[in-house]
Each structure stands twice: as structure tokens, then as C-alpha cells.
């Protein structure tokens, strides 16, 4: 009787064989001829090698003894079989004859591996590479004054260096010295490890965020963390195998739920438990050191793994004398011993008490001991802290509370600004110094600017006390601290605010709900609002804002809440529903609101990162002040999308370039249009502004680069040389040098004054999407669809470097003003920052799973903003990578619509990640189907209306049951966003169109991939299927319409005629007519059997996004960025009607089979149903916006732009007329 061996996955086999070979991922990638990221993705199981790559991989593993001796053929066959089984599309069968020849003569049988990317410098091999030891110490304390602990250090060093433990846990009470001991240990062992990484967990960061940070550091920022925590954990494990790393996790007690008999993790922190299990149980060469006041739940059950635990005792008397040498205390040996014993050798407690001895007992230990007797001064550390805080002055207590809320080191200037105006700057300075002297406050970085924080035990105590005091005030209805101190800072960086919400806000609510339950807790909070409504504004303080934040965390929304007539500070209202609430006669101060922008297409930062400008696909411009996220301007600037945007260095002037063919210059102080510039034929993809705002340069679809006066709008020069669309332009600070990049694959540098070309640079293998110049114009950077970022020296025209190849097109590149940093945004959703001097990656950010369309870098290199395809704007600190802010805007715009044959069901695709189903007769929303991870772009209904298909920026297609709302199936396979989806009338086939330039054909009811259609050279926007499913039509960004025979995926013909990308296609029911909608503003009608154009329909004043045909082919509907729907007689090519009512671009149209009803969907968030014969709107369908029916009459503290945003998101404002009657004002 035989038993079959378990089938191993390809990634498992590869990990084992590579581990046996001793090669790192980088070394294996070099020898196979691929990028390291390919090996990484093979080992995670995301992608698989082609047949050619697989043979190269097997050859390298054979040469390096990665295959088991005597079982080489079996191991190689197992690899090939695994690829065939898991990725049949890779076509990688095992060639027995080739492997036999390889075994016989490895040199002759080796096939040369073709590199996946060009590289200017050879990657160092394992023989000539020296290990570069690097450290990131995070919040680790200074250990120069470390004393004692020689026995503990010797033991720990032995564990880490000699027996090579994987996990060491240091346990001990708060203040005992765990942090300084582990810091000293790490410093002592730096030479024994390739990497040292230290992080404090006292603010309980999500495990996924911590994993992303450590992966970035250990991989030198070359690896982009995967989306899932499990995948991130496996990648970290590989890094721990590749190098010997020491990782310290300090203050792990912050992850554990307090007050429980058995240790268990706080909500959302269990990922750390999985991390510790993997670190302890999996094979690797690294070590983790964890400090905590109580053992994490996993530690007791990991006793058999290479895990060691040290229970840290107190200091000895001689160590205490050394520790407190600077305190100038006097005492006998016996007195020192007694003092040490009575405080348990606790370092923090001894420091705290030493201050009392010095100040009140003239430094005499004996006198202090006599006086103290058995008093509570010798209680636990919390008792000591209680007494120290109690005897602190009110101002000192305010400083402690401010530092506890801040959750990070606070500059002295900030403390002075916050507290100084009320109590005096000198008083604040004195309070900080007194607290520091008593060891309650510590300086975070003695070598830099003066910043202060709380030692971890003190932070926990002050936070806990703050939480309990607030709970008591809410329960008694007597707010004091609640009024004086903001508990959650609305305008703080996102990572700080999240910590405040978790460790302060959620803690308050947890204690209240434990006693009163959720409903009574809400009632107690609302009662405080009523109390403040009848008091003076001065008495409100931070109270209403604190309560609003607590109600938001408690309820998840603020709908129906009456906040009228009160002053609200520091309320975070972004991404918060406030339908039917009231802010009438209220005042908002230092608060954050939801923004109304949608589909951002361009971004710009001022030189110091103080201002952020955004242009949208609908022609709006927005301007924010970054420090407090205040919206300063909101303009309807253009009639089409804004793709070029530039800010002057001081942020006072702004230039914009649009698809409408114009360049506009704006005064950001007044919001006034300074000048409108016309001259380009077609779209303006990019603009740049000189530092003094005197000249603006523009890139044209007409292949020209043009220089203009930014003051008068007069043309200065036209630069001709490119042979295709110019995508990017840049300008040196003095306006003397212009850089340009075009679809012809070249980068050109020009002398602005002489109107002469300086140099033409040829290195990209495809279109160039973006260029950048340093301020002095001596360094240029370019990015292209070939995935390359290139650096050039202007004077010699020399290629200086080709930076790491990306997995897809690089859409944007930026340089810091001094040319020291270069940043790039990639289609795969990453933003990468390099140091130009050594070409090393400084930072790699996974900005979005939907892909990053553009980005900007502030001139000083300290701020990065990324703009993803899902409409999210993200601001990051550089080079640390901390998240400053995320601006999501209004996401409910409608991208596509579908109508059932009986008109009873309407489906719409929304950018809020949902598919909405509506009753076509009543207009009632019947379901909102959620499941996509990014915006939904395409929707299609089965003929009988039982199934609806949706396509999303998350790269998937989903099938839903319209009756139950259940997701029936998810179709995955596209490498990028899926823009369009179609179903055949016979219910057999589903087709999807993607940004990855492919169309995929699927069996509708099995989900089986039938074929992948390739032919378009860039994104495919739309797809249509004939009634019998035998013909497929696709529309692409390359300006072509392609016809395919299905299901065989045979290309039939290519239709050309449009003057730009084709966004929509539709077929008549008899498959004789084809309609197409294009960027060029026209709709074309085609005779399908003949493959020829029948006519061109002109009339729209903006690009045409969508098109639909009635079943008989008589009626054609088109939707445009000009916000109209137009109806046409398709065969006669005559206009029937123009349907007006939408306030945003129309992205989707659908017709009932008889052409009697029209459905349209717009970025204004509405679906409109029209009667085709009368041209009237039957019904407007809209789900509630964030601020629907929010009363903002008399609201103060908001800018005009913010007020406009509120109205755009559904708020109402009542205006009094002369007759004393009120009327509603709505967007």
C-alpha cells in the first residue's frame, strides 16, 4: 500500500531550494536575470516565472546546490509541475531532455537569461558585496549615561550572540529600566547584526503599519509591502532570513488589554501575536527583543522554541548610587541600601523620590527616611506618580496633559504657543524645567531642537488619569478638564490622531459603556451639548469638540445631531455622515471637514509644502493650507479636466493646464483669474511656473512646448522638435532652462531666452510621461511608460543613472529644489524617493492599491503628496514616511449605469466602492452592494435582471445576485484597474476591459477565464458584446476600436478615425451598427459588417465619455463632460434632443431596448431617468451625501470655499428675504 506525498506549492519549493543554495533574493535575481521584485513575488505566490525564466532558475539552483543531490531531476520537475498546476498560462512544461543535457554539461546547456531591465551598474555579487550595517533607532533612549546591569547584559548578550535566540522577552514593572537595558544591549551588539531596528509600541500602531515600516527599512526601501498582513509577515520572514537583523519592540504592554486576569490583546492588535509566533517558530537568522510589563499571550506556549525570558529585577544599591550621582544626595551605605530596597531598585521611582530628597531634605537621605517612615511614598510607581503629579502646579499638570495627548515629542515652541498666551511664556518654561528636573518630562533629542515627551510609565499614568477624570466629569455633568484640553486633535497628523482616538477617545467610551451602556453614554454626551448651548462661548472651550469627537467614535456618524448655537473646536468631521444634523449659528474652529472634490488628476505643492493645489477631471481647482487642512479656494476653473498644475514657490500664484486647450494663471490670495492663455491645438497635459511667477511654460497635445508671459498671457516662444504629444514640462527657477518629455520617447532641454534646443536625450523605450528639473536647471529627471526613472546632466547631455525599474509605467517624477532627492509615482500604486547622490532608495510608499496617477514633492523635499486613481490624496512626511493626512473627497460620483429590459431595475456604479440598485418605477434605492476595495467604474445587467456585473479600480470583476444582494463570484486576473464590463445577451459571456491593456473573456456562470485579448497599446476603457456573444468590440486609450471574434479571441479588424482616446462603445441589437465616444468630443457611427464609418456626430463641447444604442439601432444617446446627454437619430446622424440637468460630467448612459427611456449617471452623484420623446427628466436618483440636509444657516468659522463644499455635499442654508420669508440655498 502506497501513500502519495503532499503536493507542495511553487513558492514553498522555491523558498526551500533557495535557502539550501545560500543565495539571497537579490543574488538569485541577478543570476536568473530578473528584478529582485520578481523573485519576491514568486516566493509570495503573486506571479510565476515564464518557461524561459523557469529554466534559468533551475540552472542557477543546480549550480548553487539548491537542488538535493541525487534528486536534482525530481526537484526540478517538481518546480515545473507546480508552475503548470498553479499558473497554466505561464506555459512552462518541464523539458526532460534539456535537463539531462544540463546535468551532463551545464555550460553548453545553459540558456542565457534576458534581463528584465537595463542597469547602469552591475549588482554586486555575493563574493564582492560587503555587508553594510545600518541602524534605525526610532525612539530609543540615549545610553551614554547607562550604569550597572552587567550581569543582565552578559546573559542577554550570550543569548543573542552565542545561542542565537530568535525571541528574547524582557519583563519587569514600569520604570524598572527595561527600555534603557534593551537599548544598551542593542548598541553593544551592533557589530553582530547587519541591521538594527528599534520601535516603541506605546501608541499601539496597527500591526500592518509596523510591518510596512520594518519591511521598508530591512529591504533598504526597495520592497513594497504587500496589501495583506499575512503576506507582509511572510515577506518580513524572508528578510529575517536574508540578513541577520536585531529588531526591538519596546513597550509591548500597550498592545495588551489592561485589567484582565489573563493577558489578551487589545482589539485590532492580535496581529502582533501572529508576528511573535512566526518569529519564534520559523527558521531564520535574526532576533527580536520585546520589552513588556506583562508577557504577551504567546510567550508561555513558546517555551520549547528558541525563546528566552528575563524577569528584570531592581537595581542594586551600588548601581543606584551611580544612577543618582548627579542628584547630590548624601547618605551612609546603609541608608543607600535602605532607600534602594524600599523602592525596589526601580530606576524611575528612585529618580522621582531623589528630587523630593534634594528639594525638601537638602539631599539628606537619612532625614528623608526618618520622616517617611512607612508612608505611601514607598508604594508602587503609580502611587509615587500620583503624589508627584498632585504636588505639581496647575500649569505643570497642563503641560503633562498636553504631552500625553500629543502622543509624540512636542517642540518647546508649540508648548509655548499653546499655553503661553494664557499663563505666560516664562511660567510654561519654568513648568517644563521643573517637570524635567523631577524626571516626569524628558527631552526627546538632546542633539537637535528642544522637543519634550513623557517617559512611557509617566505617559501611561497621565493618560489613564486624564481618561478617568474625563469619565468622572461626563458622569457628573460638571465638565472642567473636558473644556480645558483637546483630547483628539483634529488637525494633527493622521497617525497621531488615530492614536488619540484609540488610547484616549475609545478608552473613555469603554469605561462609560461598561457602567452605563451605549444608549445612556450617548445621552450623557448629548446632555453636555445642551448644557453648553445655553452658556457663553468662552465657557465652551474644547468641550463641544471633545464631545462631538466622542459621539463620532461612539455612533460612527453624527446624523440628526443638534449642534446649533455652540462653538466647536478640534472636531474631526471628515468621512463622517451628518445628514439632517444642525450647525445653525454654530462656530467651527480648528476643525476638519469632508472635501467635495472628486476624481483629482493633478497636484502641486509650494516650495516649503505649505500649500497644496489639486485639479480635477471636472475642471475644478482646490487649494489647501497643509498645516491645518483648511480649504482656501474652490474654483470651477476649466470646462474639462485639469492635467497640468503648478504653484509659485510662495504659493501666491497658480497655473493650470486643461483638456479644454487653455492655460490659466490665478492669484491664490484673491481667487481671481489673472490671465487666460490660448494657443495650443488640443489638450494641455502639463504646465510649469517660474519661481518669480513671471513666465509659464506649457506642454501641448499638438507636439509643441510654449512659453508665455504669466502676467499678460502674451506668447514668448514656441519650441518645436517633438514629433508626438508632449506630456511633461519643467522650468528651472530662473526660467532659463525648459525640460520637456513626449510620447516620441525623447527628453529635450531648451534654452528659454535663445529659443534654442540644448540637447535631445534618447534613452526611454516608450513614451515619456514626466520630466523635472532642479532649481538651477543642471539636473534633469524623466519618467516613462517603460517603467524607468532616468537622471541626466544638462550640460553634457549625459545619462547619469537609470533608477530601479518599476512594475509598470511611471506617471510622474519630481526633484527637490537642490536636486538631492528624486521621487516617482508608479502605476502599481507606489511612490519611491531616492537620494540622488548615492542612488539609494530613501523611502518606498504603497500609496494605493488602485495605482498612483500623479504626485508632487515639495521643493525642500520634506512633503510628498500622491494622487491615486481611486481619488485619494495622501500627504506624507519625507524621509520618514509618516502619514500626514488623507483627503478622500466626495466619492459618490456615478461612473456607469445599466437598465433592465423591463425598465424596472436601474444599476449604477459609484466611486464610493458600491454598486447601487434602484427601483426604476419609484426611484427608491433598494440595495447598495459593497465589496470592492476601490471605486466601481463599470456595471452591466443580465437581460432578465437577475445578475449584475461590476468592474473596479481594485482590479476585479464581481457578479451579484440582484434579489439577495449577495456577491456570487469575484473574477481576478487583471493586473490593474478594470474600467469596463459587458454581458452577452444570451447570458453566456462576460467581457472586461482594463488599464493593463487587455480584454478578458469569461464564462459568465462558471467564472472560467476563456481568453485574454491583447492588441491595444495602452488602457482599454470600454467593451461591448454582440447579442450572440460571437463578436467583441473594445475601445482604447490608443484611439482605436478593435473587433474580435469570440470565444476564440481572434482579432478581426481595427477601426481608426477618432482624434484621441475612445472611452465608450455600444452595439445595436442587430449587431449592424456600432457607436463610439471619444476624447475628441465626437460620437462616431460605424457600419459593422462593412467596417466603415457612417458618420460623425458633433455638438458636445467636452469630451464624450459614454454612448448607448437602442436595440433597433435607431436612437443613440451620448454622455459628455459638458454635463449634457444628447440624443441622436443614429442612422440619419441628426440631433434629436439635448438633455440638461446634471451638474457634473456625465460618465454613463443607457437606453431601454425600445429607446423610450434614457438613464444617465454623473459625477454629481445622481442617476437621472429621462423620457426620450419629451426630453424631460422623469426622476433624479441620489443616495444621501455626507451632509444631506445639514443646516448651516449662520455657521461661522469656515472659509467661503469650505461653505461651498458643505453645500455641494448636501447642506442647506436658509436666507431671509425682504418679506421676512426664508428660502433654502443648496448646491
As a three-state string, the secondary structure of 818-868 is CCCEEEEEECCCEEEEEECCCCEEEEEEECCCCCEEEEEECCCCCEEEEEE
And the C-alpha cell for 544?
Answer: 463641544
And the C-alpha cell for 345?
Answer: 531598585
Give the span between the Cα atoms of 252 and 443, in whole angstroms: 22
Inter-CA distances, 883 with 121, 379, 513, Å:
33, 41, 31
Instruction: Give the Cα-Cα-Cα angle 1133, 1067, 967 (nearest 5 degrees).
Output: 140
- Write down the pLDDT at residue 109: 39
**3-class SS at 178?**
helix
Instruction: Check: CB of residue 319 under 8 Å from CB of residue 295.
Output: no
**CA-closest candidate to residue 401, choices 443, 438, 445, 431:** 431
Neighbours of 704 (CB within 10 A): 20
Partnered with residue 1099 across adjacent β-strands are none
**CA-closest candidate to residue 602, choices 867, 861, 399:** 867
Give the span between the Cα atoms of 829 and 784, in whole angstroms: 15
- How do strand 715-720 and strand 704-709 relate by DSSP bridges? antiparallel
Number of alpha carbons in the 13 Å side-chain half-sphere of residue 165: 21
And the C-alpha cell for 797?
Answer: 547631455
Inter-CA distances, 626 with 576, 604, 621, 767, 823, Å:
20, 12, 16, 33, 20
Q: Phi and psi for 117 in degrees, rounded to 5?
A: -150, 150
Residue indicated by cell numbers 513626449: 742
Instruction: Check: CB of residue 576 under 8 Å from CB of residue 1185.
Output: no
User: Cis peptide before 334, with omega less than 30 degrees from 0?
Assistant: no
And the C-alpha cell for 208?
Answer: 500592518
Give the span between the Cα atoms of 943 and 907, in whole angstroms: 13
Neighbours of 1211 (CB within 10 A): 27
Residue indicated by cell numbers 445622481: 1166
- Conformational region of residue 710, where left means phi above 0, alpha means psi within -120 to 50, and beta covers everything else: alpha
Alpha helices in 826-969 (DSSP H): none
**End-to-end Cα separation, the chain, in angstroms:** 78
pTM of the predicted model over 0.75: no
Give the span between the Cα atoms of 789 and 764, in whole angstroms: 9
Q: Which helix (H) or strand (E) holds 625?
A: strand 620-625
Partnered with residue 630 across adjacent β-strands are 625
And the C-alpha cell for 1121?
Answer: 463632460
Give the span between the Cα atoms of 600 and 643, in whole angstroms: 9
**3-class SS at 272?**
helix
Instruction: Check: CB of residue 522 under 8 Å from CB of residue 547.
Output: no
Inter-CA distances, 910 with 640, 642, 933, Å:
20, 22, 12
- How do strand 134-136 and strand 195-200 relate by DSSP bridges? parallel
Partnered with residue 886 across adjacent β-strands are 874
Instruction: Check: CB of residue 1205 under 8 Å from CB of residue 1190.
Output: no
Q: Which residues does 1083 contact at the CB level (< 8 Å), separation at least 6?
A: 1075, 1076, 1077, 1096, 1097, 1100, 1104, 1107, 1116, 1118, 1128
**CA-closest candidate to residue 1048, choices 1033, 1034, 1031:** 1031
* DSSP codes joined into one string, 346-369: -HHHHHHHHHHHHHHSTTBHHHHH
Q: Looking at residue 1027, what DSSP letter applies? A: T
Low-confidence ranges of the chain (pLDDT < 50): 1-5, 106-133, 376, 446-447, 1217-1223, 1227
| Pairs from 1049-1053 (Cβ < 8 Å, separation ≥ 24) | 1049/1001, 1049/1010, 1049/1011, 1049/1012, 1049/1013, 1051/1013, 1051/1015, 1053/1091
Neighbours of 823 (CB within 10 A): 27
Q: Looking at residue 230, what DSSP letter applies? A: H
The helix-helix angle for 394-406 and 425-437 (nearest 10°) equals: 80
Instruction: Check: CB of residue 273 under 8 Å from CB of residue 223.
Output: no
Q: Which residues does 1207 contact at the CB level (< 8 Å), separation at least 6?
A: 1192, 1213, 1225, 1226, 1227
**CA-closest candidate to residue 747, choices 691, 708, 798:** 798
Instruction: Check: CB of residue 438 under 8 Å from CB of residue 399.
Output: no
And the C-alpha cell for 475?
Answer: 458622569
10 Å CB burial of residue 530 (0-12, 13-18, 19+) is exposed
Instruction: Check: CB of residue 1064 under 8 Å from CB of residue 1052.
Output: no
Inter-CA distances, 644 with 558, 600, 784, Å:
38, 11, 17
Give the span between the Cα atoms of 219 and 132, in whole angstroms: 12
Q: Which helix (H) or strand (E) holds 1049?
A: none
The strand ranges marked E within 343-385 are: none
And the C-alpha cell for 887?
Answer: 483627503
**3-class SS at 1028?**
coil
Amino acid at each position: 500500500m502506497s501513500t502519495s506525498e503532499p503536493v507542495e506549492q511553487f513558492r514553498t519549493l522555491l523558498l526551500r531550494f533557495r535557502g539550501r543554495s545560500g543565495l539571497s533574493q537579490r543574488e538569485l535575481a541577478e543570476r536568473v536575470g530578473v528584478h529582485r521584485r520578481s523573485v519576491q513575488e514568486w516566493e509570495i505566490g503573486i506571479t510565476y516565472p515564464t518557461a524561459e525564466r523557469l529554466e534559468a532558475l533551475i540552472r542557477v539552483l543546480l549550480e548553487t546546490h539548491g537542488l538535493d543531490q541525487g534528486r536534482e531531476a525530481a526537484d526540478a520537475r517538481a518546480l515545473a509541475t507546480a508552475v503548470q498546476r498553479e499558473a497554466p498560462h505561464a506555459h512552462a512544461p518541464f523539458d526532460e531532455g534539456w535537463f539531462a543535457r544540463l546535468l551532463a554539461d551545464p555550460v553548453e546547456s545553459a540558456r542565457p537569461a534576458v534581463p528584465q531591465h537595463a542597469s547602469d551598474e552591475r549588482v554586486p555579487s555575493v563574493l564582492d558585496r560587503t555587508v553594510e550595517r545600518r541602524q534605525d533607532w526610532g525612539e530609543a533612549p540615549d545610553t551614554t549615561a547607562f550604569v550597572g546591569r552587567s550581569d543582565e547584559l552578559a546573559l542577554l548578550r550570550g543569548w543573542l550572540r552565542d545561542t542565537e535566540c530568535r525571541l528574547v522577552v524582557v519583563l519587569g514593572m514600569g520604570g524598572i529600566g527595561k527600555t534603557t537595558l534593551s537599548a544598551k544591549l542593542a548598541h553593544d551588539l551592533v557589530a553582530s547584526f547587519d541591521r538594527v531596528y528599534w520601535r516603541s509600541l506605546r501608541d499601539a500602531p496597527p500591526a500592518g503599519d509596523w510591518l510596512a515600516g520594518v519591511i521598508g527599512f530591512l529591504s533598504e526601501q526597495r520592497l513594497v509591502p504587500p496589501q495583506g498582513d499575512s503576506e507582509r509577515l511572510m515577506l518580513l520572514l524572508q528578510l529575517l532570513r536574508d540578513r541577520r537583523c536585531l529588531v526591538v519592540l519596546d513597550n509591548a504592554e500597550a498592545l495588551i488589554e489592561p485589567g484582565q486576569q489573563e493577558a489578551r490583546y487589545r482589539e485590532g492588535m492580535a496581529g502582533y501575536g501572529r508576528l511573535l509566533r512566526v518569529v519564534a517558530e520559523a527558521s531564520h537568522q535574526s532576533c527580536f527583543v520585546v520589552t513588556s510589563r506583562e508577557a504577551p499571550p504567546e510567550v508561555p506556549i513558546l517555551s520549547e522554541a528558541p525563546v528566552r525570558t528575563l524577569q528584570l529585577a531592581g537595581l542594586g544599591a551600588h548601581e543606584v548610587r551611580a544612577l543618582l550621582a548627579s542628584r547630590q544626595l548624601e547618605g551612609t551605605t546603609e541608608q543607600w541600601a535602605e532607600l534602594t530596597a524600599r523602592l525596589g531598585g526601580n530606576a524611575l521611582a528612585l529618580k522621582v523620590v531623589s528630587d523630593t530628597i534634594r528639594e525638601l531634605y537638602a539631599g539628606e537621605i537619612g532625614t528623608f527616611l526618618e520622616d517617611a517612615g512607612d508612608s505611601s511614598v514607598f508604594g508602587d510607581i503609580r502611587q509615587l506618580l500620583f503624589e508627584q503629579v498632585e504636588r505639581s502646579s496647575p500649569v505643570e499638570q497642563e503641560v503633562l496633559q498636553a504631552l500625553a495627548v500629543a502622543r509624540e515629542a512636542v517642540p518647546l515652541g508649540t508648548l509655548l504657543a499653546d499655553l503661553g498666551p494664557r499663563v505666560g511664556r516664562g511660567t510654561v518654561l519654568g513648568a517644563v524645567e521643573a517637570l524635567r528636573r523631577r524626571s516626569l518630562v524628558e527631552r526627546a533629542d538632546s542633539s537637535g531642537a528642544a522637543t519634550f515627551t513623557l517617559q512611557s510609565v509617566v505617559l501611561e499614568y497621565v493618560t489613564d488619569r486624564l481618561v478617568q477624570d474625563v469619565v468622572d466629569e461626563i458622569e457628573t455633568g460638571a465638565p472642567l478638564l473636558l473644556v480645558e484640553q483637546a483630547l483628539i486633535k483634529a488637525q494633527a497628523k493622521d497617525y497621531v490622531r488615530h492614536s488619540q482616538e484609540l488610547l484616549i477617545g475609545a478608552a473613555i467610551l469603554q469605561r462609560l459603556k461598561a457602567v452605563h451602556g451605549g444608549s445612556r453614554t450617548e445621552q450623557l454626551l448629548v446632555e453636555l451639548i445642551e448644557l453648553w448651548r445655553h452658556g457663553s462661548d468662552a465657557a465652551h472651550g474644547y468641550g463641544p469638540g471633545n464631545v462631538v469627537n466622542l459621539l463620532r467614535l461612539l455612533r460612527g456618524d453624527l446624523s440628526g445631531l443638534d449642534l446649533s448655537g455652540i462653538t466647536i473646536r478640534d472636531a474631526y468631521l471628515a468621512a463622517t455622515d451628518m445628514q439632517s444634523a444642525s450647525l445653525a449659528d454654530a462656530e467651527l474652529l480648528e476643525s476638519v471637514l469632508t472635501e467635495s472634490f472628486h476624481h483629482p488628476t493633478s497636484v502641486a505643492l509650494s516650495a516649503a509644502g505649505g500649500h497644496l493645489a489639486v485639479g480635477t477631471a471636472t475642471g475644478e481647482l482646490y487649494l489647501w493650507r497643509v498645516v491645518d487642512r483648511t480649504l482656501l479656494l474652490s474654483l470651477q476653473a476649466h470646462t474639462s479636466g485639469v492635467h497640468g498644475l503648478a504653484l509659485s514657490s510662495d504659493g501666491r500664484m497658480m497655473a493650470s493646464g486643461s483638456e479644454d486647450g487653455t492655460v490659466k494663471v490665478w492669484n491664490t490670495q484673491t481667487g481671481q483669474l489673472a490671465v487666460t492663455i490660448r494657443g495650443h491645438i488640443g489638450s494641455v497635459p502639463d504646465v510649469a511656473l517660474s519661481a518669480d511667477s513671471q513666465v509659464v511654460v506649457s506642454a501641448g497635445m499638438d507636439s509643441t512646448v510654449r512659453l508665455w508671459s504669466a502676467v499678460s498671457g502674451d506668447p514668448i516662444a514656441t519650441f518645436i522638435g517633438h514629433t508626438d504629444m508632449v506630456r511633461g514640462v519643467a522650468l528651472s527657477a530662473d526660467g532659463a532652462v525648459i525640460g520637456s518629455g513626449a510620447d516620441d520617447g525623447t527628453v529635450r532641454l531648451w534654452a528659454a531666452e535663445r529659443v534654442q534646443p540644448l540637447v535631445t536625450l534618447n534613452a526611454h523605450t516608450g513614451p515619456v510621461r514626466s520630466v523635472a528639473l532642479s532649481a538651477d536647471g543642471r539636473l534633469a529627471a524623466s519618467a516613462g511608460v517603460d517603467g524607468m526613472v532616468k537622471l541626466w546632466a544638462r550640460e553634457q547631455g549625459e545619462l547619469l543613472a537609470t533608477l530601479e525599474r518599476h512594475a509598470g509605467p511611471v506617471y510622474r517624477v519630481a526633484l527637490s529644489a537642490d536636486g538631492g532627492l528624486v521621487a516617482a509615482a508608479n502605476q502599481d500604486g507606489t511612490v519611491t524617493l531616492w537620494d540622488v547622490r548615492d542612488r539609494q532608495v530613501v523611502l518606498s510608499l504603497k500609496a494605493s492599491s488602485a495605482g498612483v496617477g500623479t504626485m508632487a514633492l515639495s521643493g525642500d523635499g520634506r512633503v510628498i503628496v500622491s494622487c491615486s486613481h481611486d481619488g485619494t490624496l495622501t500627504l506624507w512626511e519625507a524621509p520618514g514616511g509618516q502619514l500626514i493626512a488623507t483627503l478622500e473627497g466626495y466619492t459618490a460620483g456615478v461612473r456607469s449605469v445599466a437598465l433592465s429590459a423591463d425598465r424596472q431595475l436601474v444599476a449604477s456604479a459609484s466611486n464610493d466602492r458600491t454598486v447601487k440598485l434602484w427601483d426604476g418605477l419609484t426611484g427608491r434605492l433598494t440595495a447598495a452592494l459593497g465589496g470592492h476595495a476601490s471605486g466601481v467604474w463599470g456595471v452591466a445587467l443580465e437581460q432578465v435582471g437577475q445578475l449584475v456585473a461590476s468592474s473596479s479600480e481594485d482590479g476585479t470583476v464581481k457578479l451579484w445576485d440582484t434579489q439577495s444582494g449577495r456577491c456570487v463570484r469575484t473574477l481576478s486576473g487583471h493586473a490593474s484597474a478594470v474600467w469596463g464590463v459587458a454581458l452577452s445577451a444570451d447570458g453566456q459571456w462576460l467581457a472586461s476591459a482594463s488599464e493593463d491593456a487587455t480584454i478578458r473573456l469569461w464564462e459568465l456562470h462558471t467564472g472560467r477565464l476563456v481568453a485574454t485579448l491583447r492588441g491595444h497599446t495602452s488602457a482599454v476603457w470600454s467593451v461591448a458584446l454582440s447579442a450572440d456573444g460571437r463578436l467583441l468590440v473594445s475601445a482604447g486609450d490608443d484611439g482605436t476600436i478593435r473587433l474580435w471574434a469570440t470565444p476564440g479571441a481572434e482579432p478581426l479588424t481595427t477601426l481608426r478615425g477618432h482624434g484621441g482616446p475612445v472611452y465608450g462603445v455600444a452595439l445595436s441589437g442587430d449587431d449592424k451598427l456600432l457607436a463610439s465616444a471619444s476624447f475628441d468630443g465626437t460620437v462616431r457611427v460605424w457600419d459593422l459588417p462593412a467596417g466603415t464609418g457612417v458618420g460623425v456626430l458633433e455638438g458636445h463641447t467636452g469630451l464624450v465619455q459614454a454612448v448607448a444604442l437602442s436595440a433597433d439601432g435607431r436612437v443613440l444617446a451620448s454622455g459628455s463632460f459638458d454635463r449634457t446627454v444628447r440624443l441622436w437619430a443614429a442612422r440619419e446622424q441628426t440631433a434629436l434632443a439635448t438633455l440638461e440637468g446634471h451638474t457634473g460630467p456625465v460618465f454613463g448612459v443607457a437606453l431601454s431596448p425600445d429607446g423610450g427611456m434614457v438613464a444617465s449617471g454623473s459625477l454629481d452623484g445622481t442617476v437621472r431617468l429621462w423620457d426620450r420623446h419629451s426630453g424631460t427628466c422623469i426622476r433624479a436618483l441620489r443616495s444621501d451625501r455626507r451632509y444631506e440636509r445639514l443646516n448651516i444657516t449662520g455657521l461661522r468659522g469656515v472659509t467661503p470655499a469650505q461653505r461651498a463644499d458643505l453645500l455641494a455635499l448636501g447642506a442647506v442654508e436658509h436666507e431671509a428675504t425682504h418679506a421676512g420669508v426664508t428660502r433654502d440655498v443648496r448646491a
